[in-house]
Structure 1
Amino acid sequence: MAERRAWSDKRAEIMSRPGAGSAYEAARIRFQLGEAVRRRREELGLTQAELAERAGLKQPAVARLEAGGTMPTIPMLERVAEALEMRLSVQMTPLREAS
């Protein structure tokens, strides 16, 4: 039977693998984008289907975006932002300043 280990030890092992840090960062960005889209959609009182129609997408694409299951393109983000009555702003920050 396998030895049980603390989650912190397992996480440290996983994060030490090549590419793990960049994969984690990409997942974090997808999750934050999705959360921002969902929050704004709900503020406007829209369903996923209504947002999809406004943005020229299908409802499952909006669901994937909100769940962080896809990395959207800039053109897609522009359409979604417009549909959410927002302006897309993309920013690059030096790594030493990024949190």
Structure 2
Amino acid sequence: MSERRSWNELRDETLASPEAREAYDAARIRFELGSAVRERREALAMTQAQLAQRAGLQQPAVARFEAGGTMPTLPLLERLAMALGLRLRVGFEPLDRTS
């Protein structure tokens, strides 16, 4: 019988694969961007439909984005930022400063 492993051990083993690591990182980015948009929208007491209208999108597109279901383009991020009263700022930082 095989030895049982913890969730962390299984995750670390899986993420050792470059393909899995790449997919994980892409999902993390989508989730973080979607969460940031949702938090700002809610802080403004705005519905998804209202945000969609301001950004020139359909409400389901906003819902998918907020759920981390799509990887946005820079023009889409600019439209969402403007609709939320924000300025988009894109940059790079050293890997040792990121989580």
TM-score (norm 2): 0.89
2:60 matched to which residue of 1? Answer: 60
Deviation at 1:62, TM superposition (A): 0.3
Cα offsets for 1:7-64 (capped at 9, x unmatched): 1221122111122222212111111111110011011111001100000001011001
Q: How many residues align?
A: 99
Amino acid at match of 2:15: M
- What is the correspondence of 1:70-81 to structure 2 with a 5 Å cutoff? 70-81=70-81
Amino acid at match of 1:54: R
* Whole-angstrom distance in 1 between the partners of 2:80 and 2:38: 11
1:10 matched to which residue of 2? Answer: 10
* Whole-angstrom distance in 1 between the partners of 2:2 and 2:42: 45
1:26 is aligned to 2:26: yes
2:35 matched to which residue of 1? Answer: 35
Deviation at 1:92, TM superposition (A): 1.2
TM-score (norm 1): 0.89
- Identity percentage over the alignment? 63
Amino acid at match of 2:23: A
Amino acid at match of 1:71: M
Amino acid at match of 1:84: L
* Whole-angstrom distance in 1 between the partners of 2:5 and 2:60: 38
More helix by percentage: 2
Aligned partner of residue 46 in structure 2, secondary structure = coil
Deviation at 1:86, TM superposition (A): 0.5
